[in-house]
């Protein structure tokens, strides 16, 4: 199994990135291209997944882009690593629950490199750390599967402006918070891309 690794430094428009992903899904299904791991950042954008509910949109003036990934409202922007993938489950296991579990483990392993203890929550998708008073989400996960090709991915907060989440109820979870590596006191995360690539390929190659 070959996975092409792409790491794009300059921010990419959200709609453009999804267009590229959709084309890759088509090409992977037809066997024209390898699977993909793509690390990027977006300019500030709010997206609504297929399970989003209007009550989770607190600031009605926000410009929201509807997307076909699973999940609800979330934010992407500078200081956040968006890790997209295209994986062919026709040649792997056709088990979405197992795929999600592997993605969760991948993020947990990434955070271990920074001595951050994190965990998955069966009731609330994403990866969490314990805060002083409540659980804090550090990574959001949104996946879509088409013809057994899994795509979209996860977003890991590195030095994200956390105030940007105030206009939404992120992922529909009201009684929990949002955090980032920087917020947890990590000041050196220059090698984060290499760690993401290493941990992802360890699991999926």
Domain definitions of the chain by residue range: 3-204
Q: What is the dihedral of CA 14, 19, 24, 25, to 10 degrees?
A: 100
Which residues does residue 75 pair with via DSSP β-bridges, in sequence order?
46
- Dist. CA 42–CA 77, nearest whole Å: 5
How far separated are the first and last CA of the chain, in Å rounded? 7
What is the pTM for the complete model shown?
0.94
* pLDDT tens, residue by residue, 95-115: 999 999 999 999 999 999 999
* pLDDT tens, residue by residue, 49-98: 888 998 899 999 999 999 989 888 999 999 999 999 999 999 999 999 99
* pLDDT tens, residue by residue, 127-163: 999 988 889 999 999 999 999 999 999 999 999 999 9
What one-character DSSP code corresponds to residue 56?
G
What three-state secondary structure class fits 201?
helix
* pLDDT tens, residue by residue, 15-28: 999 999 999 999 99
DSSP string across 107-141: HHHHHHTTT---EE-SSS-SEEEE-SSSEEEEEEE
Element (H, E) at 40: strand 35-40
By annotation, the residues acting in catalysis are 171
Compute how many other C-beta atoms are within 10 angstroms of the C-beta atom of residue 84: 22
Superfamily holding 3-204: Bira Bifunctional Protein; Domain 2 (3.30.930.10)
């Amino acid at each position: 199994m070959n996975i092409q690794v792409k790491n794009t430094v300059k921010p990419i428009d959200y709609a453009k990135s999804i267009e590229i992903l959709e084309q890759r899904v088509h090409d992977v299904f037809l066997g024209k291209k390898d699977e993909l791991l793509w690390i990027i950042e977006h300019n500030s954008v709010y997206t609504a997944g297929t399970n989003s509910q209007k009550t989770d949109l607190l600031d009605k003036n926000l410009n929201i882009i509807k997307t076909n990934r699973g999940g609800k409202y979330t934010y992407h922007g500078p200081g956040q690593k968006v890790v997209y993938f295209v994986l062919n489950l026709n040649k792997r296991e056709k088990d979405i629950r197992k795929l999600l579990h592997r993605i969760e483990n991948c993020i947990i392993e990434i955070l271990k490199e920074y001595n951050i203890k994190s965990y998955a929550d069966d009731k609330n998708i994403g990866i969490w750390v314990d805060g002083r008073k409540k659980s804090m989400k550090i990574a959001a996960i949104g996946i879509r599967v088409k013809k057994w090709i899994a795509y979209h991915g996860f977003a890991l907060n590195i030095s994200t402006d956390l105030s940007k989440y105030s206009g939404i109820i992120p992922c529909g979870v009201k009684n929990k918070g949002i955090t980032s590596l920087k917020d947890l006191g990590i000041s050196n995360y220059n090698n984060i891309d290499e760690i993401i690539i290493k941990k992802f390929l360890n699991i999926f190659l």
